[in-house]
Structure 1
Amino acid sequence: MSAPYKLTNAGKGTYLFTCDNGTEYTCFFIALPITDKDGNNHLIYSFGFDRSGKFVSTNFTNRFDVRIKLTIVYIIKEFFKLNEDNAVLYFCYPDDQLARHRSIAFSKWYNEELSGEIVHLKKDTVYNNEILYGAMLILKVNPFYELLVNAVDKYIAEINDQK
């Protein structure tokens, strides 16, 4: 399977694509060093994407484009083909009051496209008195599954403690 939209690998974990309506998307993975409760170091990846270089969203101005979903899902699947011993963490930031909606959409995308080999663990937390919706994606067969889940749980607890 290939991505529905033509992808450009911009290097350093960054991918670019342009929709039929001209909207440009940037998807990126950023290495995130974390430690578990025993002080062991782990490297996971924070995932995100933006539209036209911005994280802002305007309510209901764009028609749903299934090819955007399928392109982003493709990027995540390709990540795990290359990084099967790693995990991905994402957060839906509340700046535009649509974080919950994005979290629901990502959960739906997971259920529709990723649930076969990948586990989706909700990791919502509170930061600056706002709900920070998030989740961890990890392969079911990852040999470091428990270590990475525990390290991410510790990381989330640290975020929560930073209120």
Structure 2
Amino acid sequence: MSPQYNLTKTQHGFYIFKTDDEIEYTAFFTQCLVDDKEGNTHKVYSFGFEKNGSYNSEKFAAKHDPKIKATIIFIVNEFFRSNGSNTLIYFCFHDDNLARQRSITFSKWYNESLTDNIEHHKTTSIYNDKPIYVGTLILRDNPLRELAFEAIDNYIRDLVSEKES
């Protein structure tokens, strides 16, 4: 795997890194709790990363940077080292018409680098007549894995329903 970018961790637990092209990114986590049908509460972290400042968002204007992949994979692995029994989800929204491409990229990164001990579950929901792609990552040896997947699917369905009403 390519070397990763240097990371700075903020007091809020965010990660900041700058690419060789001087583009700064922030990777962040937000936490929520979801309950499953058995009454278990699962701590779920939503993960995202974004470019800071202004940038060109034209479709396919930028090529993939293998060091960004290595950096994000490192952050995901670090998350599971620190929060093993918790679940990580990510959303690919359609705001810039690149949601599908981001979902494909995340799936590719998972298949290339995270399959050993982490399971990936993908779902697609519709919001304002456009797809939202969601991925869930959880350790394969988590005994509540199936209940967590079901609880997260229900959580996402409820989120989309609330926003449409």
User: What TM-score, normalized to structure 2?
Assistant: 0.89
Aligned-partner residue type, residue 64 of structure 2: F
Distance 1:154 1:78 in 2: 27
Percent of pairs identical after alignment? 45
Superposed displacement of residue 57, structure 1 = 2.6
Distance 1:34 1:55 in 2: 35
Partner-residue secondary structure (3-state), 1:136 = strand
User: Unaligned 5+ residue runs, structure 1?
Assistant: none
Superposed displacement of residue 55, structure 1 = 9.2
Partner-residue secondary structure (3-state), 2:135 = strand
1:13-162 matches, within 5 Å, as 13-53=13-53, 57-162=57-162
Distance 2:56 2:87 in 1: 26
Distance 1:123 1:55 in 2: 29
8 Å CA contact 2:91–2:133 kept in 1: the answer is: yes
Greater Cα offset, 125-134 or 75-84? 125-134
Distance 1:82 1:139 in 2: 12
What is the total number of aligned residue pairs between the two structures? Answer: 163
8 Å CA contact 1:33–1:44 kept in 2: the answer is: yes
User: Unaligned 5+ residue runs, structure 2?
Assistant: none
8 Å CA contact 1:90–1:135 kept in 2: the answer is: yes
User: What TM-score, normalized to structure 1?
Assistant: 0.90
Distance 2:15 2:53 in 1: 13
Partner-residue secondary structure (3-state), 2:149 = helix
